[in-house]
């Protein structure tokens, strides 16, 4: 797609890979980026492991417009993201006075021990990302945005930086719910997709009360085309005898 | 870790990357693997894109013991996983009579159109994976296990193959809930981790009713060590004035 603005996300956390924690950050970031026309192209979940983090960040920052990371910027021994990002960029990790000042908004001076001060260690040259929830900042270096893993904090950080991203043309989508299994409409769908390369047609089967159905999601930059293609899908499905429901126009 | 049995997961699906669908397959697979001593080391979410799928599968199958994929094996034009896996392995994709026979358990012969028959296209040399829900099979080739994306079907496929995997020593874990922020216990935790390299100590902050707290998860292969280290963590936290709650022994 012309002028596509792309993004990748690195989730840093043994707790997701062990199954202890159900990630909900992917969906929040994916939707938020989509609204400003930035397309999330890849997500990687990696362990709290220096080599794994550096490899993922360096591979992805070379491949996509924007990179986001979540997790690993707290005060404990398993929080190693900031060191890893500094190493990935080949810059020193420095105690940042701006970050210390922010920690002092939340933490009494007598409680600002060495562990908590680690949260003020920021790669040289990075800009801070505001944390309106608990003040310990994230940071941005190059095209990499380093955020907390706790969803409430991540969301606040992400909402704060989203306005600074240069987006593309947002995609709009429309759904057609077809009360028939995918197999009966697949040939017709393929034909419609072949005829309309400027939209993406996704087919998502479901079963409800023992009945198979399919949701067809048409996505594209041009609302008129998306609407036209959705109507074609609906007509095709009705022509093979399916009951359908169509979205009203939706973003 | 000695004799570690590792795994990676590739989630194939624009619907996860657009935020339309909240993935729940990672957690199911992560927990299921953990129970048999297989460690999920990496997850990638990639688009329904041939180059992206082939790259992820080939990189990961060279790096880990087992690979799992979810998504993209249905009858529609956006289901391209099977072709991509065949290309990744450099083998032809063939109409598999065993798979056709399984489709006929679910689909009447007169309804077995070309689109549905695509679900019987399997890379040469692959073994089929049972689908007790809707019969269209997954498959295994080399160390790669290709499964459906619909959670109910994926879970049935995964449960069926899990017994065939050669696991390692399962990790056990114990939680200590500490009613104090991470920063106050971080130095003590680091010391305990440094003294016990054979367990992993994860620190997960939470806030509840405006109070900060931390859950410390100790994981390792030896239950006695995990229990001992958890008690050390609890004692350390109490020594700095925190109220704590300890798990009973848990797997």
Contacts of A203 in chain B (CB under 8 A): 74, 76-79
CA B194 distance to own-chain centroid: 28
Interatomic CA distance for residues B159 and B149, integer angstroms: 14
Beta carbons within 8 Å of B40's beta carbon, 6+ residues apart: A17, A18, A19, B6, B7, B8, B9, B26, B29, B30, B33, B34
Q: What pLDDT band is residue A3 in, cutting at 50, 70 and 90?
A: low
Judging contacts by C-beta atoms under 8 Å, the chain B residues touching residue A45 are 26, 42-44
Percentage of chain B lying above the pLDDT 70 cut: 97
- The 3 state secondary structure assigned to chain B is CCCCEEEEEEEECHHHHCCCCCCCHHHHHHHHHHHCCEEEEEEEEECCCHHHHHHHHHHHHHHCCEEEEECCCCCCCCCCHHHHHHHHHCCCEEECHHHHHHHHHHCCHHHCCHHHHHHHEEECCCEEECCCCCCCCEEEECCEEEECCCHHHHHHHHHHHHCCCCCCCCCEEEEEEECCCHHHHHHHHHHHHHHCCCCEEEEEEEEECCEEEEEEEEEECCHHHHHHHHHHHHHHHHHCCCCEEECCCCC
Q: What is the mean pLDDT of chain B?
A: 95
Q: Do A77 and B183 touch (CB under 8 A)?
A: no
The answer to whether B20 contacts chain A (CB < 8 Å) is: yes
How many residue contacts between A and B have a Cβ separation below 8 Å? 191
Contact B233, B176 (CB under 8 A): yes
> What gap in Å lies between CA B118 and CA B74, rounded to an integer?
8
Contacts of B200 in chain A (CB under 8 A): 14, 78
| Interchain CB contact of A117 with B (< 8 Å) | no
The three state secondary structure string of chain A is CCCCEEEEEEEECHHHHCCCCCCCHHHHHHHHHHHCCEEEEEEEEECCCHHHHHHHHHHHHHHCCEEEEECCCCCCCCCCHHHHHHHHHCCCEEECHHHHHHHHHHCCHHHCCHHHHHHHEEECCCEEECCCCCCCCEEEECCEEEECCCHHHHHHHHHHHHCCCCCCCCCEEEEEEECCCHHHHHHHHHHHHHHCCCCEEEEEEEEECCEEEEEEEEEECCHHHHHHHHHHHHHHHHHCCCCEEECCCCC
- Mean pLDDT over A111-139 rounds to 96
Hey, of A21, A50, A52, A75, which one would you mutate to test binding to chain B, going by the most B CBs within 10 A of its CB? A75
pLDDT of amino acid A160: 98
pLDDT at residue B248 in the model: 65
Q: What is the CA radius of gyration of chain A?
A: 22
In this predicted structure, what is the pLDDT of residue A251?
43
* pLDDT score recorded for residue B40: 98
Average pLDDT on A121-137 reads 97
Q: Quick one: pLDDT at residue B210?
A: 83
Residues 194-223 of B with CB under 8 A from A: 194, 200-207, 217, 219
Q: What pTM was computed for the model?
A: 0.95
Min distance A51 CA to chain B CA atoms (Å): 12
The whole-angstrom separation of Cα B81 and Cα B93 is 11
A42 and B44 within 8 Å at the Cβ level: the answer is yes
CA B76/CA B120 separation, integer angstroms: 13
Cβ distance A24 to B20 less than 8 Å, yes or no, reads: no
CA torsion, points A146, A147, A148, A154, in degrees to nearest 10? -170
Q: How big is chain B by its Cα radius of gyration, in Å?
A: 22
Handedness of CA A94, A98, A104, A109 (dihedral sign): positive
pLDDT at A247: 80
Q: Band the pLDDT of A143: cuts 50, 70, 90.
A: very high
Residue A21 structure tokens: 């924690």
- Per-residue confidence (pLDDT) for residue A248, from 0 to 100: 65
Per-residue pLDDT averaged across B124-149, rounded? 97
Of B83, B48, B53, B49, nearest to B67 (Cα)? B53
The pLDDT of residue B249: 53
**Cβ <8 Å between B14 and A113:** no
Residue from A204, A180, A7 nearest B111 by CA:
A180
Q: Is B45 on the interface with A (CB under 8 A)?
A: yes
In whole angstroms, what is the distance from residue B147 CA to residue B149 CA?
A: 7
Is the CB of B77 inside 8 Å of chain A's CB atoms? Answer: yes
Q: Which of residues 150-169 of A touch B (CB under 8 A)?
A: 150, 152
Interface test with A, best of B18, B41, B209 (most A CBs within 10 A): B18
Report d(CA B140, CA A105) in Å as an integer. Answer: 55
> For A102-112, what is the mean pLDDT?
95
CB contact set of A251 (below 8 Å; sequence gap of 6+): A35, A170, A172, A173
Distance from CA of B127 to the nearest CA of A (A): 23
| Gap from B71 CA to chain A (nearest CA, Å) | 10
Q: Is B44 on the interface with A (CB under 8 A)?
A: yes
A168 has a pLDDT exceeding 80: yes
Q: How confident is the model at residue A2 (pLDDT cuts 50, 70, 90)?
A: very low
Q: Hey, is the C-beta of B109 within 8 angstroms of any chain A C-beta? A: no
Q: Do A182 and B27 touch (CB under 8 A)?
A: no
Contact B219 A18 (CB under 8 A): yes
Asked if B74 reaches chain A (Cβ–Cβ under 8 Å), the answer is: yes
Count the Cβ atoms, other than its own, within 10 Å of residue B212.
16
The span from the CA of A129 to the CA of A145, in Å, is 8
How many angstroms separate the CA atoms of B198 and B221, rounded?
Answer: 8
């Amino acid at each position: 797609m012309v002028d596509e603005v792309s993004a990748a996300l690195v989730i840093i956390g043994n707790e997701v890979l062990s199954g202890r924690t159900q990630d909900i950050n992917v969906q929040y970031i994916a939707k938020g980026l989509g609204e400003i026309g930035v397309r999330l192209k890849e997500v990687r979940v990696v362990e709290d492991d220096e080599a794994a983090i550096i490899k993922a960040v360096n591979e992805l920052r070379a491949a996509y417009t924007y990179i986001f990371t979540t997790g690993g910027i707290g005060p404990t021994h398993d929080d190693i993201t900031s060191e890893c990002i500094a190493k990935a960029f080949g810059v020193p990790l420095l105690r940042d006075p701006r970050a210390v000042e922010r920690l002092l908004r939340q933490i009494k001076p007598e409680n600002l021990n060495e562990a908590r001060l680690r949260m003020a260690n920021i790669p040289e040259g990075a800009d801070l990302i505001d944390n309106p929830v608990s003040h310990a900042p994230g940071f941005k270096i190059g095209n990499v945005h380093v955020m907390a893993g706790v969803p409430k904090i991540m969301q606040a950080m992400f909402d704060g930086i989203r306005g600074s991203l240069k987006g593309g043309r947002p995609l709009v989508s429309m759904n057609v719910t077809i009360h028939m299994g995918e197999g009966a409409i697949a040939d017709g769908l393929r034909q419609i997709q072949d005829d309309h390369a400027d939209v993406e047609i996704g087919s998502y089967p479901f079963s409800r009360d023992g009945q198979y159905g399919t949701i067809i999601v048409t996505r594209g930059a041009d609302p008129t085309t998306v609407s036209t293609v959705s109507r074609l899908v609906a007509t095709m499905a009705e022509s093979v005898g399916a009951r359908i429901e169509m979205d009203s126009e939706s973003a």
